[in-house]
Amino acid sequence: MLKQVQHDNIKSVKSAISAGHKKMTIQEALFQYTLRLGDTNLILSQRISEWTGHGPFLEEDLALTNIALDITGAAKSFLEYAAGIENKGRSADDLAYFRNDRQFYNAQITELPNGDYARTIVRQAMIDCFDFYFYTELAKSKDETLAGIAQKSIKEVTYHLRHTSSWVERFGDGTEESHNKAQTAVNELWQYTGELFEMNEVDEILIKEGIAIDLNGVKTKWGNHMAGLLEKSTLIKPENGYMQTGSRKAIHTEHLAFILAEMQALPRMYPDAKW
Amino acid sequence: MKTKEHILSLLSEIPDPEIPVISIIELGVIREIDIIDDKSIALKITPTYSGCPAMKQIEDDVKKKLSENGFTSITLNTIFSPPWTTDWITEEAKEKLRKYGIAPPEHSTEDKNWLTGKHSVVKCPRCKSENTKLISQFGSTACKALYQCQECLEPFDYFKCI
């Protein structure tokens, strides 16, 4: 019995390895790409939603909750599209609630704990800025659905970026304490920004098709914008040193599994639950 | 067979779930109506905001209204392009918003002045004063910002231009 199991295991590992060498189809690449976008939005929205009811004051609580809601909406759009591309009977909810941490492709920066408000806002401004330039390019994609979601999201992200930038400025150019908190956040988060611009086989295949975006262009625009914002906020832009990596291979920090445990608890406990 | 005008008037009876003074037709979220036969219809619908929780309610209301009127096969497809804009809200609907106490979108989204920090004047929907102040970019729903009138001191919602 045990021998048979071992034999089967070896067989499945062998077939997995040979499958790994097989070139990815456009459909598989598009699924991976859309899943990556869906996961990044989903985990970020889940993370910043933790502030709901705990914001520093009412208007800011509303603002961050609204931003989280827009991002949840983008996650829903991407994951519904991903589920359709995969076409294996999984819904957007199945993708969100019934995968484990090693099956998520969100950028690691989105799963990091919120920390203090300066850290939450600095991260949000970094991602809003990325999204602004990324969606501007994705809106020109040959894939009509991705282009449509991007056109929709860019309107919302423009508001987000304006809001979070104004706070980075106030924190940076505010009191000594707020300045130090914002600078610490910038310093600690910077190493997670490299991952946003990583490209792999998925990007390579889809860039050729005019579907995906060459992230090198976005990287330059993002870098210039962030440099300007940080300077205006009297904050120092860190050097591009060591960058964290892993999410394109579904490797994460220890924080993701805890988010999933909370986010997925109800549907996993009651798989038939409807809402 | 029912005409498009007939369907439009049916759907005009459905109020926006969060701003009940305007209909979903006036809001501009129904983008295409395709009457296949007496029993079948397909609609294209676009969200105001990606995460707007009212969209599910709107879809349910549309299905209910159409099934009450003899349709047994109702297909609703969500489209994202062209993205919804406040420019699609009719002048008549803007007046209804104002009477309801919500300041309607003041300018066309073609006007990019606000990007450079120049805000157009948002008039108080109660006393019409132009002396108003932005309290929060984000309000009680995704589509609104919060203002306060400096004359009559009334806090009010402003329908953001997107």
Label residue B39 by pLDDT band (50, 70, 90).
very high
Confidence check: pLDDT of A22 > 80: no
Closest to B54 in 3D by CA, of B86, B23, B98, B94: B23
pLDDT greater at residue B91 or residue A71: A71
Contact A210, A142 (CB under 8 A): yes
Confidence check: pLDDT of A7 > 70: no
* Of A15-19, A70-74, A172-176, B89-93, the least confident: A15-19
Model pLDDT, residue A224: 97
Average pLDDT, chain A: 93
> What is the distance between the alpha carbons of residues A152 and A137, in angstroms, rounded to a whole number?
13
Q: Give the DSSP H/E element, type plus range, for residue A67.
A: helix A58-86
Is A73 in Cβ contact with B138 (below 8 Å)? Answer: no
What is the percentage of chain B residues whose pLDDT exceeds 70? 92
Q: Which residues sit opposite B75 in a β-bridge?
A: B42
Model pLDDT, residue A158: 93
> What is the distance between the alpha carbons of residues A207 and A141, in angstroms, rounded to a whole number?
9
Region B11-22 average pLDDT? 92
Q: Is residue A187 part of a domain?
A: yes
Q: Is residue A275 part of a domain?
A: no
Confidence check: pLDDT of A116 > 90: yes
**What does the block give as tokens for A127?**
């991602």
| pLDDT tens, residue by residue, B44-95 | 999 988 888 888 899 999 999 999 999 999 999 999 889 999 988 888 999 9
Model pLDDT, residue B11: 94
Say how many domains are in chain A: 1
Model pLDDT, residue A14: 52
Residue B69 Cα, gap to closest chain A Cα (Å): 27
Model pLDDT, residue A6: 53
Confidence check: pLDDT of B3 > 60: yes
Q: Is residue A5 part of a domain?
A: no
Q: Is residue A74 part of a domain?
A: yes
Q: Is some CB atom of chain B closer than 8 A to the CB atom of A176?
A: no
Average pLDDT, chain B: 88
Residue numbers of the domain that contains A185: 25-269
CATH of the domain at A56: 1.20.1260.10
| pLDDT tens, residue by residue, A190-213 | 999 999 999 999 999 999 999 999
Residue A69 Cα, gap to closest chain B Cα (Å): 5
Model pLDDT, residue A95: 97
| pLDDT tens, residue by residue, B114-135 | 555 556 688 999 998 999 998 8
Region B98-126 average pLDDT? 75
List CB contacts of A155: < 8 A, sequence separation 6 or more: B83, B85, B162
Model pLDDT, residue B139: 82
Q: Is residue A68 part of a domain?
A: yes
Model pLDDT, residue B105: 87
Model pLDDT, residue B71: 94
Q: Is residue A194 part of a domain?
A: yes
pLDDT greater at residue B142 or residue B108: B142
Model pLDDT, residue B161: 82
Domain ranges across chain B? 4-78, 92-159
Q: Is residue A10 part of a domain?
A: no
Q: Is some CB atom of chain B closer than 8 A to the CB atom of A159?
A: yes
Q: Which residue in A has a C-alpha nearest to residue B55's C-alpha?
A: A73
First to last CA, chain B: 37
Confidence check: pLDDT of B110 > 70: no
What is the percentage of chain B residues whose pLDDT exceeds 90? 53
Q: Is some CB atom of chain B closer than 8 A to the CB atom of A76?
A: yes
Confidence check: pLDDT of A242 > 80: yes
Q: Which of A144, A156, A158 sits opposite B50 (nearest CB)?
A: A156
Chain B hits for A63, Cβ within 8 Å: 136-138
Is B138 in Cβ contact with A63 (below 8 Å)? Answer: yes
**CATH code of the region B4-78:** 3.30.300.130
Is B50 in Cβ contact with A74 (below 8 Å)? Answer: yes
DSSP A105-168: ---HHHHS---SHHHHHHHHHHHHHHHHHHHHHHTT-SSHHHHHHHHHHHHHHHHHHHHHHHHH
Label residue B144 by pLDDT band (50, 70, 90).
confident
| pLDDT tens, residue by residue, A36-67 | 999 999 999 999 999 999 999 988 999 999 99
Region B1-16 average pLDDT? 91
Model pLDDT, residue B113: 54
Confidence check: pLDDT of A77 > 70: yes
Give the 3-state secondary structure of B75-131: EEEECCCCCCCHHHCCHHHHHHHHHHCEECCCCCCCCCHHHHCCCCCCCCCCCCCCC
Model pLDDT, residue A8: 54
What is the percentage of chain A residues whose pLDDT exceeds 70? 92
Confidence check: pLDDT of A13 > 80: no
Confidence check: pLDDT of B112 > 60: no
> What is the distance between the alpha carbons of residues B22 and A5, in angstroms, rounded to a whole number?
64
